[in-house]
Amino acid sequence: MLKVGLTGGIGAGKSEVSRLLARSGAVVIDADRIAREVVEPGTPGLTAVVEAFGPEILKPDGSLDRSALGSIVFSDPARLATLNGIVHPLVGARSAELERAAADDAVVVHDVPLLTENGLAPLYDLVVVVDASPQTQLHRLVTLRNMTESDARARMTAQATREERLAVADLVVDNDGPLEELEPQVRALWSQLTERAAAAT
């Protein structure tokens, strides 16, 4: 089994790389998706988040209001640390469970947005960083995700810098251009990963 950490700043295109790797045959463990699962209604995770941040972060149906929570934590590092302290251990436990279920010769890609910020690089056999310039990230967040520029900048500032991410990278996927330039890079990346997985078994 080859354990790969996949990361990239918000708007860099990590999710698209993750999707292409899954299509190629990778076992993708998506930390964001698991993070949503562990705070669904009725979970201990959601109970803990409500205890920390108050009932105003819930929608009328009892589910988590992500935008309300986001507006609290992304402008306050201490509150963000509180949230991470609740969610990250739950995500880690579920990710480990999914990894154990993968085949011995699998390429297991852990899609982890905050890999750099949380010092997780040593957990993986190698780290792949999806890289784009801050200008490209900002443009995508404003045009594709309909964020305000100030909200987009706040989210980018809450993450590691481009330099910090590149410092932990074993392999870099350049996603500053259009989608058609990304796919051949991911095909080449998949070849490298499968070769390494074969060598590791």
Where do the domains of the chain lie?
2-200
Using alpha carbons, select from 78, 80, 86 the residue that is nearest to residue 49. Answer: 86
Going residue by residue through the chain, which has 201 residues, state the pLDDT in tens, using 9 for 90 and above: 999 999 999 999 999 999 999 999 999 999 889 999 999 999 999 999 999 999 999 999 999 999 899 989 988 989 999 999 999 899 989 999 999 999 989 999 999 988 999 899 999 999 999 999 999 999 999 999 999 999 999 999 989 999 999 999 999 999 998 888 999 999 999 999 999 998 876
The CATH number that domain 2-200 falls under is 3.40.50.300
Beta bridge partner(s), residue 4: 109, 126
Per the CB < 8 A criterion, the answer to whether 118 and 127 are in contact is no
Using alpha carbons, select from 148, 174, 155, 152 the residue that is nearest to residue 117. Answer: 155
Q: Which residue matches tokens 């890079």?
A: 185
Instruction: With H, G, I as helix, E, B as strand and everything else as coil, classify residue 4.
Output: strand
Distance separating alpha carbons of residues 198 and 77, to the nearest angstrom: 42
| Cut 0.85: pTM above it | no
DSSP 121: G
